[in-house]
Structure formats: C-alpha cells, structure tokens
Structure 1
C-alpha cells in the first residue's frame, strides 16, 4: 500500500549543488532552444509537458506548438516576438494561453534571450517556459481582494464626504436615501429611524412607494428589527426571505413586495446613547462576510455622529426660529385703504437668526406707519435688541410723532441700551386719503415704488445716520422725503439681505430687484413670494432679510378733503367760527345728513379741551375714503389727561360731554401724541359721497 497520499509523493533526490537542469525541472520550468536559421525549435520534456505533448509526438516544428494555442493567442505571441527581434531587444517575456487535451485553459509564461550576430541580426533564441496558471490565479485573487478593499474604502470615504456637507436631519436622510447614497451602500432600499420620546419615528425610506404610513411611528418595545437593534445596541443580519418572515411576521407583508433577499439592521449610537437605527435591504444577497459586517458597523458609527450633529443643529434652528418669530409681529393689521404683505426669511447658514424685522402700525386719521430695519449682527443678541427696538419704534409711531421724531427717539433708545449694536431702518408714514408718504431713512436702503403699470423705481432722498450712532454722535436730525403713493401703486421696503450678495455690487442686486418687481404679479402677497424666491436664487440666502409691501387700494383714491382750525383759549368767537366751518365743509362734501352730529361732537370735544387744559385745541375734520367712507373729527391738545365717560346725576350741570360723544359718534377714542393727546370720533356716511 502506498504510504504517501496523493500529490505528496517525494521528488527523486537531486545532486548537490543542483545543476541548472535539476533547478528548472524541480520548479516545473522547461527550456527551449530555437535555431532561427533552420527553423527548428527544441523543447525539453518539461516544456513539452506544458504543451501537453509527449517527446515522441513533437517534431521540433514551431507550427506544431501553435496548434495547441487559441488563434488569437498564437497571433499575439508571434507579434510580440517579432517586435522584440526587430527593435533590437535582447530579451522578451510574455504570458499566453495554451489548450491542453482536457480543454482547460492553461496560462504559460515564456522568457527568451535573443542571440544576434555581429550585424545585429537575430540567429537564435534560448529561453524557458513555465506553467503560470496558479500564479495568475493568485494574482487575480489578490487583485480582486485589493479591489474589494478599495471599494469598501471608497464606500466609507464617499459616505463620509457626503455626510460632511449635511447640516440638517433632512440633509442626512437625503444623503442616505437618494440613488447615489443607496448605490454607495450597495443596497436596494433603506429605512432610517430616530428615537423620539421612547418611540421610533421613520425619517426616510430609500425606495419610491415603500413608505408605510402605519409604521411611521412604532415603539422601542415592538417586535420590529429597527426597534430590536435600538434596544440591544447590536447589529442584526438577515440572510434569507424565510428567516425574515419567520422572525418578523408582522413586518414581512410590507417587506415581501420589495423583493429583498437579505437585510442588515444597524444601531445608531452616539455618545453611548442609541439615537436611532438604519436598515439596509439587498437584492440577490445571501450572506454578510465578516469584513462586510465590520464595514457596515463602521459606517453606522459615522452616520450616527452625523445624525446627532444634525439633530442638535435642528434643535438650535427651531429654538432660533421660535425666538425670531416671537420678536416679529404675529400678524399684520388691516388698515383701511391699504393692503400690506410682509415676509421674513432666515439665513441658510449659522443659527438662522438675525436682527432684521418689519412692522406696520395703524395711525390716526386713516394713516399707517410701515418700517423695515436691520440690527447689526446674526445671533440671539441681535434678535433680542431687534425685539426691543421694534417695540420702541412702534410705540413712538403710535404716539403720533412725526417720522423724524420717531427715528430720533428710537436712536436715543438704542444708544441707551446696554449694547454695542447699531441698526439701520426705514420708516414711512402713509395717508390713505391723499396717498402722501413721508419717509425717513436711518442708514438704510432706499425704498422702491412700483407704479400701477408695473414700472419700478427707487425713491431718492437724503439719509441719516443709523440708529444708535446718530445719538452717540449727537446728530439726531433725520431729513424727511415726501412722495405720493397713487391708487394701485406699491411701496416696497426691504433689508439688504434681500439684495446683497458677497463679492457683488449692491447696485446689481437693486437692479435685479427692480426687474423682478416689474415682472412680478400685481397681487402683493404673490409678489412677496415671488421676490423671496427669485432673490434667494441670486443671493444664495446667506443673510436674513425682511420685506414689506404696502399697496394703496383703488378705492382709496379721491380728492383730499381736510379741514384744520386752531381754537385759542379765552376766545369764544373762535369756537363759533369753528362750528360754521364744520357745517360748511360737511355740506360741501355732500354729507349734510350728519352735519348736526359732527358739529355737536366737535363742540363738546373742543369745549373739554379748553376747560380742562392750559392751552388751545387743534380741530381737524376729514373725509376718509377707502372701505366704508367716514367723517373723522379730531381735537388735539397738549394735556396727557385722558377724558372719561361718566354717568352724571340728575342734579349735575356738567359731565355729560363724553356721554354725548359716545352716543352720537359711531366710534370714538383717544390717541396719545408726542406732546399731549388726540380725542377723535368717526361718522359713517353714504358711499355716494366718495365722488
């Protein structure tokens, strides 16, 4: 019985030191000698064995060897050897295939030395042949291994590079679930869930139509693979549809239509705390080698870090957005004769918070004050200063101060705050009846005026120092620019974040804004949306911005009907004259039916002002258009004491004035003014009086 197993029979002993023939034979290498003059090619037995030829079969004819080679290989070898002989080479080497009798491909490596005569002509080639099949197979395995390692490294690097640019949770889910992300991971579909208050919320699913609404929210305790990896903090690998169906029968009906044959569920752990889970579904896969599992775990660690960073950013963003929203007006007032539209857009970088704001303030006499401003900086401090400054401006405007005084007082207010920030602002006081606009700029962009035909232009005018700086430098003079806003025209106020782009000229942004306004829709709300969209595409949205549009309605047009009369104290004739002027004005304006009521209220208000204050009274009467036409009477004095409606006793001889005003006027009220107050009443009149 043979004591040696197959393939392990010992070689015959070789002399020491071994000669060349023994060395070649023991290493399965044969030799050849090719006489180019005679054309004979000698091969030793080992070389003949490589061609699967017996010594008695071989006729020393090179063409006989060619019969054991594929035609394309024979042509390639001939071309390679011929080139070496012609270009003066002394050696050559080449890999080619031969066809043994069993039909299997055998790779052979040949290496030859070309002997040349004194003239350089080739005369003889002496070389070796060896079986290189195992060598190339090992090389192919090494190459495949290197390629797989390179692919895995590329997966890690590509995913990490893509996640490096992800800022929000939405960015992270987009990186993972888009076709490129799935392609990098080699998966056919994906599910990403995060832990929120003890429940698992699915954020993304990587295949269109794979969304399952009833599984959007599940509990961590539920028998689902995502819940399991979150609970155990360990990965889960499923390698067959049968295994999936057996372990998770509740989930399998939703997975079956996806055609998945394998799945990997990975916990997402950041700072020792599970924050979610990632599931990858595969087609045509039935195993997860150890190296692939390690790769997926490494990927899940990087994904978890990116997801946690994005979740923290979203939390800060929500906090900043809430703070910004609290600082801005919750809604805009409805002002007769006007349509107001406003927008605020946070910056796309940083904490998405800044100092830009807008506001609209109803003012006495059918007027409205509108403003847009920008506090220096992009942080919570800028937003806090903005909130205080906006309220101060609103209060100064509501007190009835002129636009220049509103700005001056706001500048002093900002200077006295414990802050080093300054602010720019534009404030406009607009009257519905006449369309008169009185505006003031404190270091701010010029407003724009859109005419009824769509043509848009900037409103030129002088500009004062920014708020805070003017008080600091003692220059509180703010020049006022007056323009007229005709019916159907729109006044546009904005902060520089709408038009400014880093590295570009501001005039280019203003020109683009003008074209966008000209080409935009007539409706103020639609125009505001369009401007935000177009300008954000051009500027990149790197700065926050505020935008306000004020459109004077068509019904607000009409001739100005206004009466002013000063009534001096201790001058009875002045009060009598005021009564006559009121009666004549009301009749000339076409509303005689309410002249007695207006005259009575005016008489009571002026009398109260003269009796209870130290100065005179300024009486104003105007016919307000826009909406329901109405007569408005105002009496302004320099006292801050407010009138009260009382119920006098039957023996009282006074105290019935405000009671009469309350009963006769349709509506009345008191507005504070910068130096005193204004008591007013309004009377609705028929629409036929508008013309």
Structure 2
C-alpha cells in the first residue's frame, strides 16, 4: 500500500513541479474559454476544443460555430442560463448540458463561468471567462444511482398497484384476472407469470402469463413431483434460479417447455396464508443473472399479499357455492308447461355478503286449466331469509293448488308467515291467469307493481291496489287483499319482478323503473329471449341485492267470441272464493252480451256450486261457456267428485232443502246431470235472445 505520509525533505521533486494549470486541466478533460461580449469572439484552448471533439482548424472563434455540436434544445437551455446571469447581475453561473459527439451520440458536459463587469454603477458585463469539462463519468455514477432508485420506486409502485387491485378482488377468478394482467408483471421485469393452486394434493395451473406458454399435460401435477411449484409448496421455501443451466439441472422435466421462452432466470414462491399453503407463484425473466436482496424482499411481499387475497377469495367462493346451492334447492326445479301460455323465470343472487336472499318465484298449476304465478321477497339477505322463503313458497303453493281465490291465497300465506317463529315479513305479488280467455286476477302484498308488455313492444305499469306485506297483515289483523281483474290479450306479457331489478345504491327507484321499461320496449318478443335480455342489460346494472323475475305471455290468436269460457275451481269452506267466482261469472256473462239473463245465470251457478260444496266431499269445478248456434246458448257446468245424483224435491218434504234445484229448474231453459268418471256434472243452459 502506498504510503501517503510526508516525504523527507531530501527527496527530489519531479520536473515541472508544480504542473502548469493548462496541463493539469487538459489531463482531466477540462478546458478554458474567454468570451469577449463586446466583439462577440470566444477563445477556446486546446483542451476545451477536445471536449467538443474539435481540431484547432475547425473553430473560427465564432460561438455560433459550436451550435452544430450542441442539440437545439440544449443550446436554448444553455443560452437561457447565461442570459439570466448576465441580466440579474450575477458574477458566476454553471450548468450541465449535452454535446453531440462525432459518432452522433450525446455526452454530458459541464461549464462554469465568471462574469467581468464594469466598475461603474451600471455594472455592464463585457467579458466572461470560465472552464468547460467532460462530465460523463461524473453523471454516469449519479445516473446509475438515480436509475437504481427509480427502479426501486417502479417496483414498489407495481406492488402497491397490484395490492390495491387485489383489494377489490372478491372471487378467486378476480384474483386470477389481476395477476393475468401482463402489463403489471411486465413492469416487474418478468416476461411470464404462472400461478398454481393446491387442490386435493395436486397443483392446478390457473395463470399462464405468456401466450404459447400453456402446457396442457402439465396443467395438473402432483405435489410430490419434480416441479418448482410443487417443491416450494412442499418446502414452503422460495426457489430462485439465475441461469438456464441451473433451471435445466434442477427441473429436467419442465425445462424443455421453458427453454423456448428464452428464460435466463426464474423465481418461484409459495403462497402461504395462516401457515397453510394455497399454491405457488412463478416469475420468469429474460436478461437477468441475479436477484438483489431488495428484489427478493419485494417478491416475498408480493406473494404474501397475493396469498392473503387468495385466501379471502377462496372463502368467499366457498360461501357463495353453499349459498347458491341452498338458494337453488329453495326455488322450484322446473316450471310447468301451460297450454296457451309461455313462462320464463330468472334469478340472480346478491353480489355481496353471503350471496343469498329471500327472493323467489313460482308457477303453480291451478284447477280448471289456469296457472298461478307468484313473485316474492322475504326481508333480509342471509340463510334465515332463504329458509323462511322456502317454507313460505311451499305454503303459498299449497294454498294456490287447492284452488283458493287469489285473495284467500294471500291472506292464508300471511297468517302462515305470522305463525312461523320469525320476525321476517315478505312482499309478494300473485296472479291467477286463464290462458284460454285471458282472464287475470292479481293481488299485491306490499310488492312492486307488475308490468304489461303489449305485442307492439310498448309497456306499462299496472297500478294495483294492495295490502300489507305478508306477516304484517296478519299481525295487525288486516288480511284483506283487493283483487284486480283484467284481461291478458294474446301476445301480451305479464312481468313480475323483485325490487333488486330496479334498485341501485344512491339512485332513485323511479330511474331504475324507467330503465327497465325502456329495456323491455327494446327487447325481443319471445319471453325466454326477453328474460335473457333483461338479465343482461338491467340485471348487470343492479346493486348488491338479489333479483327474481317471472314473465308470462299469453299465446295464440284471440279466442272467438262464441268460444269464450270461464273455468274456476272452488275449495270447500272458502266463502271468499265463492264470492269471487260469482262476481267473475257475472262479469263474464255481461261481457259476452247476455245482460238480460246475467242475474239468472249467476244465481243458477251459485245454487249449483253451493249444492256441490254442501253435499259432496272436496271442491267443485265450474265452467261457463258459450255454445254458439243460432239460438246463442250459454251453458253452466258444475263438476264434483260424488257419484250421488241430486234429487229435486218439493219444499214441504224437508222444509229447508231441495229448493236449489227447483230454482235451477225455473230459471234455466234446460238442465241435467251427467256422469263424469268417479263424479258427476250438473249443468244448465240459457238461450240468450238479446244477442
């Protein structure tokens, strides 16, 4: 090692010691300049000319000659620095700028100048002297440090951005989508990323970051096999490889598939959450020969963040599957085929929480060829709401299938819900439709109004009178549900839905309804296609609530006037159903043009129905239809399941019974009894002279 102490006084000094300043400056690639501002001439010594890569004969003393050796943008910046110093009274200035070398490349240069000014009061500058030097080595070290700092900031930014994106990932597929973003991985310097998940002792590759890198036969591998992701899962230790030779030696089975990617280094890390391995992550690099400690820490931090997000997503997916299966089990497995009508249903689970709620739909065959359709929503979004929904759906279905009138079905369902051990209530809309004549009866329990879509695509909301939600009406003793009667024309579609289809957080419900109406108007005519259209266009815009909808379209042409009929089933001990049928018969007969005999038809039908309910077991089915012909006959049939024939008796025989058939005999033009399998049909016909 050289001794840098003080030399003895007897040691001789080198020649030309100390070295002349111009030689000292030249050896350090520094030159001087002298610029006379009055004449505009600038002198550059030989060392200064060498900085510009100029020979003495190449420079004529004019500063403009140097302009072709300085890029225009750099020249403007240099002129601005000098002009500012001359203008503001400064005596010194200094700046870095780039000069153009003979080969066209750019090189950093530094200049420093001293400004001579007049000694008088104005201090006008008239001369600038200074130095100019090659600053390449100086700035190279500084640039290297800046580049390293910038690289660290860039990588940290990638980790922060990836972590922020993972914070919004809900499902495992969301996590996969974030990692499959090649742009983010590219900023990490990786050319490809691969991720595998641990499933039943096997690794399943779920992310292949580079096109063409997928190897189908390696999509599933055992954990005990000789693959890098399997190894890091077994050992819970990262594996870093910094050469193709090392990769080929460690994993000879995988290397033939990796070699075409021109990979020079790789990093495989286990995905661990709560001390349990979930899978592994692999980064593949080109033109990389080592991993710095900072890079290793960065990759470990990134894998930890991914593992936490992955565990959260896996738990969400598991809960989603359980909730979805439970919800599917609660909803009807199939929708019955209804002659003369077409029904389509759709359900979408909630997006957040446990993805389960109390929305449901159902289609119920009702006696007499009619169909009952229902849409409902139990309060809450949890398994309890789903359980209540399942019980309520079955109960309501049973009441409807027994043939009870819509108002009775709704009232009994409310009592049933009130008697359950729950504090939940439910909104509901129930409609009973006859596809033959289009008769429609609708009741509403606190639910959103249904919609009607006409054959021309126009759509309107049905403003229905309604009652309290199910459960609440029974609790407060207000079980009256008004029935709205209307006709569904051929080609018209009844649309029932829950509020999840139109409600969005922070948005007005009316705006959601307007969007739904517009989507219905633009939608296709066929109900299955229309249901898909609404689910895709409106359902995707909904909030976090679950959603159900049911569409019923009446098919076929209009029923000819003389083919009109009314078909109803009446359950025993249901006075509301009897009153509803009586009113429906009166309305239908008057609509068909039998106004003068409408009361007689209604009275005969009432007597026949009452007789069947009092003297037989089970319910009764009443049919009122036009027979046609020149005399325009109308026929009333009441069927029951008893084979016993009715007897017409004089009133004095019993005092109270037997009067019904006497009334039928007096009012009907003709009547009779027909055997119907195990039961019978009592009928009466009326000639309508006023048609």
The normalised TM-score by structure 1 is 0.73
- CA shift, 1:337, in A, is 2.8
- CA shift, 1:522, in A, is 2.2
The 3 A distance-change label for structure 1 pair 69 and 623 is closer
Partner of 2:432: helix, strand, or coil? strand
- CA shift, 1:50, in A, is 7.5
- CA shift, 1:299, in A, is 0.8
Aligned twin of 2:640: 635
Partner of 2:233: helix, strand, or coil? helix
Instruction: Say if 2:49 and 2:56, in contact at 8 Å, map to a contact too.
Output: no
What does residue range 635-674 of structure 1 map to in structure 2 within 5 Å?
Answer: 635=640
**Counterparts of 2:288 and 2:514, CA distance in 1:** 59
Instruction: Say if 1:41 and 1:62, in contact at 8 Å, map to a contact too.
Output: no
Q: 1:156 aligns with which of 145, 156, 159?
A: 159
Question: Structure 2: which 5+ residue stretches go unaligned?
Answer: 10-19, 571-608, 628-635, 643-674, 682-691
The normalised TM-score by structure 2 is 0.73
Instruction: Say if 1:632 and 1:680, in contact at 8 Å, map to a contact too.
Output: no
**Counterparts of 1:104 and 1:608, CA distance in 2:** 108
Aligned twin of 1:255: 258
- CA shift, 1:390, in A, is 1.2
The yes-or-no answer on 1:229 pairing with 2:246 is: no
**Counterparts of 2:210 and 2:426, CA distance in 1:** 49
- CA shift, 1:114, in A, is 3.8
The yes-or-no answer on 1:319 pairing with 2:332 is: no
Aligned twin of 2:556: 554
Q: How many residues align?
A: 580
Q: 2:146 aligns with which of 130, 143, 146?
A: 143
- CA shift, 1:134, in A, is 4.3
The 3 A distance-change label for structure 1 pair 386 and 12 is farther
**Counterparts of 2:256 and 2:292, CA distance in 1:** 27
In terms of mean alpha carbon deviation, does 410-419 or 172-181 score higher?
410-419
- CA shift, 1:493, in A, is 0.6
What does residue range 512-527 of structure 1 map to in structure 2 within 5 Å?
Answer: 512-527=515-530
Instruction: Say if 2:94 and 2:113, in contact at 8 Å, map to a contact too.
Output: yes
**Counterparts of 2:213 and 2:247, CA distance in 1:** 17
Aligned twin of 2:92: 91
Partner of 1:554: helix, strand, or coil? coil
- CA shift, 1:283, in A, is 3.3
Aligned twin of 1:496: 499
**Counterparts of 1:449 and 1:67, CA distance in 2:** 86
Aligned twin of 2:190: 187
The 3 A distance-change label for structure 1 pair 129 and 624 is farther
Partner of 2:444: helix, strand, or coil? strand
- CA shift, 1:348, in A, is 2.1
**Counterparts of 1:65 and 1:158, CA distance in 2:** 50
Partner of 1:374: helix, strand, or coil? strand
Aligned twin of 1:116: 118
Partner of 1:294: helix, strand, or coil? helix
Aligned twin of 2:12: none
**Counterparts of 1:273 and 1:619, CA distance in 2:** 66
Instruction: Say if 1:361 and 1:398, in contact at 8 Å, map to a contact too.
Output: yes
Aligned twin of 2:14: none
**Counterparts of 2:568 and 2:427, CA distance in 1:** 35
**Counterparts of 2:102 and 2:469, CA distance in 1:** 96
**Counterparts of 1:418 and 1:184, CA distance in 2:** 58
- CA shift, 1:99, in A, is 10
Q: 1:436 aligns with which of 435, 439, 443?
A: 439
- CA shift, 1:211, in A, is 3.0
Partner of 1:305: helix, strand, or coil? helix
The 3 A distance-change label for structure 1 pair 250 and 459 is same
Aligned twin of 2:70: 72
- CA shift, 1:260, in A, is 3.1
The 3 A distance-change label for structure 1 pair 101 and 560 is closer
The yes-or-no answer on 1:205 pairing with 2:235 is: no
The 3 A distance-change label for structure 1 pair 32 and 620 is closer
The 3 A distance-change label for structure 1 pair 632 and 192 is farther
The 3 A distance-change label for structure 1 pair 454 and 169 is same
What does residue range 21-420 of structure 1 map to in structure 2 within 5 Å?
Answer: 63=61, 71-72=69-70, 80-96=81-97, 107-118=109-120, 119-125=122-128, 132-420=135-423
Instruction: Say if 1:366 and 1:624, in contact at 8 Å, map to a contact too.
Output: no
Instruction: Say if 2:111 and 2:130, in contact at 8 Å, map to a contact too.
Output: no
- CA shift, 1:227, in A, is 0.9
**Counterparts of 1:104 and 1:518, CA distance in 2:** 66
Aligned twin of 1:620: 622
Instruction: Say if 1:372 and 1:493, in contact at 8 Å, map to a contact too.
Output: yes
**Counterparts of 2:492 and 2:99, CA distance in 1:** 90
In terms of mean alpha carbon deviation, does 257-266 or 271-280 score higher?
257-266
Instruction: Say if 2:94 and 2:110, in contact at 8 Å, map to a contact too.
Output: no
- CA shift, 1:481, in A, is 0.3
- CA shift, 1:311, in A, is 0.8
Aligned twin of 1:425: 428
Instruction: Say if 1:51 and 1:100, in contact at 8 Å, map to a contact too.
Output: no
The 3 A distance-change label for structure 1 pair 342 and 564 is closer
The 3 A distance-change label for structure 1 pair 98 and 445 is closer
The 3 A distance-change label for structure 1 pair 98 and 411 is closer
Partner of 1:211: helix, strand, or coil? coil
The 3 A distance-change label for structure 1 pair 547 and 64 is closer
Q: 1:532 aligns with which of 520, 527, 535?
A: 535
Partner of 2:538: helix, strand, or coil? helix
